[in-house]
Chains A and B, each alone.
Chain A
Amino acid sequence: QQQVKQSPQSLIVQKGGISIINCAYENTAFDYFPWYQQFPGKGPALLIAIRPDVSEKKEGRFTISFNKSAKQFSLHIMDSQPGDSATYFCAASNYGGATNKLIFGTGTLLAVQP
């Protein structure tokens, strides 16, 4: 019940295209859903996050879509650029819980071809 399932495992997109990464969770107590971007040899960096009181959040070229009833959320990267090539992790946590530990998906390796 603590799992977050992420797909696809890897993704190749042409420059200018749309990258879509999907995540699903089981624990209905999760109420904070961040996406992290990680470049090789670096730590994860927060990209964008959403709370379940909204169905969509947009920041620049990055959009999170959230479907509470389906317990799914996705990251859309519009106008994908070679510099977006990285590993993307979705995560979830329980805001009201005793801890704020993040449960991560297994990651998606994105390659944007020029």
Chain B
Amino acid sequence: NAGVMQNPRHLVRRRGQEARLRCSPMKGHSHVYWYRQLPEEGLKFMVYLQKENIIDESGMPKERFSAEFPKEGPSILRIQQVVRGDSAAYFCASSLDRVANEQFFGPGTRLTVL
């Protein structure tokens, strides 16, 4: 009974490169949330997706960031032209449905931008 899976666990990119973070929700879960955790800070909501739909992207930076959750395959958080300020831990969480409340978190992807 696998939990939320994220890969890669660690990602190093140089400024200007692209970063792709993947999240596979728990089996049967169709709701995915992405959060960002800056060093010494709490988690900040970025985006909420259901299969093939972005429901709430109010926490996403307006530029360079995008997310998708296709019908088949994992959810992808994409960061184009990364900058040093993008260095953070990115966590994905999934829930069975919106009403179920409980969100189960993955182990995170730690992005380092050189």
What residues of chain A have their CB less than 8 Å away from a CB belonging to chain B? 6, 32, 34, 36, 41-46, 49, 89, 93, 95, 98-107
Smallest CB-CB separation from B4: which chain A residue?
A: A43
Please name all residues of chain A whose beta carbon is closer than 8 Å to the beta carbon of B93 when the two chains form the complex: 102
The number of chain B residues touching the other chain, given as a range, is 20 to 34
Give bound CA distance, A102 to B95, whole Å: 12
User: In the complex the two chains form, what is the Cα distance from A46 to B41 in whole Å?
Assistant: 18
Residues of B that sit less than 8 Å from A by CB: 4, 31, 33, 35, 41-45, 48, 55-56, 58-59, 91, 93, 95, 98-99, 101-108
The contact of B56 among A49, A101, A106, by CB within 8 Å, is A101
Chain B residues with CB under 8 A of A89: 42-43
B residues in contact with A99, CB < 8 Å: 48, 55-56, 98
Contact A45 B43 (CB under 8 A): no
Chain B residues within 8 Å of A49, by CB: 101-102
Query: In whole angstroms, how far apart are the Cα atoms of A105 and B12 in the complex?
Result: 28
**What residues of chain A lie closer than 8 Å to B55, measured between beta carbons?**
98-99
CB closest chain-A residue, reference B6: A43
Most buried by A among B41, B59, B93: B93
Query: Which of B33, B42, B103 is packed against the most chain A CB atoms within 10 Å?
Result: B42
Q: How far is the CB of B7 from chain A (nearest CB, A)?
A: 13
Q: Is the CB of B101 within 8 A of A95?
A: yes
12 sample A-B contacts, Cβ–Cβ < 8 Å, listed by A number: A36-B105, A42-B108, A43-B107, A49-B101, A89-B42, A100-B103, A101-B45, A104-B35, A104-B43, A104-B44, A106-B41, A107-B42
